[in-house]
Amino acid sequence: MSIPLLRAAALVLCLLAGLPSAGLAVEEEVVLGLSQDRVAITADFDGSEILIFGAVKREAPIPQGPPLEVIVAVSGPNSPVTVRRKAKRMGIWVNTDSVLVDSAPSFYAIATSAPFQEVISDTEDLRYRISIARAIRSVGAAMNITNAQDFADAVVRIRENEGLYSLRENTVAVDQQTLFRSAIDMPADLTEGHYTARIFLTRAGKVVSSFETDIDVRKVGLERFLYSLSREQPFLYGLMSLAIAIAAGWSASAAFRLLRNN
């Protein structure tokens, strides 16, 4: 084969390699919108609701077969958590064992368009770490600690009772397998930081598309000033707190004397 033909053949192969395979083409893709991508924590902040809505972008007609399902997962900043087990010793409750859970989100909410077990398979859940139990990472515990999984379960149970973890099945509305919407309630005691919103499209329990975006949660105004001062200038913050306490005590004492004299 001549050199020009070899070059032409190589060019054709390169072009074919650059084309997406028909079998691997993404037929459905998430197009997402948020009612707000920033949550401001103020003095009268009592929680927030974030509306998550979107559509499914397609290059072909809606596939036949199982219906499209949607999962929305919003998670807060991750941090390690030390969990302690108490036991009664000689009539007194004392800490006996402790386990460091390597990473647990400060807030985690899941909304689904159908029961969770019907929306996604266990294999896909393991792959994408969507369920609450799999969002918590615990590498291991000391050999002398029995039932180490109980410590991770305790984190989930406590934060569910506090309203920080929740699974909200059948709360994502899907219209014509194209439009979807859901609302995530965020409690008043939010941790500052970057929150992540993940959206998954599934069919027959398998993820066909996913999308991820950030939500910024920050203190603003006087709360932000005091928070920053306490972290950056702790000595000055302590002096200011002491001065406020003295002034408040003196004012209360003066008011009490005035009322007593009258």
Tokens (6 digits) for 34? 């948020």
Tens digits of per-residue pLDDT, 32-58? 777 777 777 665 666 788 889 899 988
The predicted structure's pLDDT at residue 126? 93
- Residue spans of the domains in the chain: they are 25-218, 220-262
* CB atoms inside a 10 Å sphere around CB 174: 18
Q: How confident is the model at residue 6 (pLDDT cuts 50, 70, 90)?
A: very low
- Does 2.40.30.10 match the CATH number of domain 25-218? no
pLDDT exceeds cutoff 60 at 242: yes
Q: How large a percentage of the chain has pLDDT more than 70?
A: 76
Q: What is the pLDDT of residues 144-168, one digit of tens each?
A: 566 767 888 888 999 999 999 999 9
In terms of average pLDDT, the best of 1-10, 58-67, 122-131, 180-189 is 122-131
pLDDT for the residue numbered 119? 96
Please state which of the ranges 2-16, 36-50, 111-125 shows the lowest mean pLDDT: 2-16
The CA-based angle 53-215-155, given to 5 degrees, is 100
Structure confidence at residue 182 (pLDDT):
93
Is residue 197 within 8 A of residue 52, CB to CB? The reply is yes
- Give the pLDDT band of residue 3 (cuts 50, 70, 90): very low
Alpha carbons 85 and 101: distance in angstroms, whole number: 13
What b-and-e string marks burial along 234-243, b requiring 16 or more CB atoms within 10 Å of the CB? eeebeeeeee
Answer with the residue of higher pLDDT: 207 or 87: 207
For the chain, the average pLDDT equals: 79
Q: Residue 221: what pLDDT?
A: 54
User: Rounded CA gap, 144 and 70, in Å?
Assistant: 42
Task: Say what the pLDDT of residue 231 is.
Answer: 64
pLDDT band at residue 171 using 50, 70 and 90 as cut-offs: very high
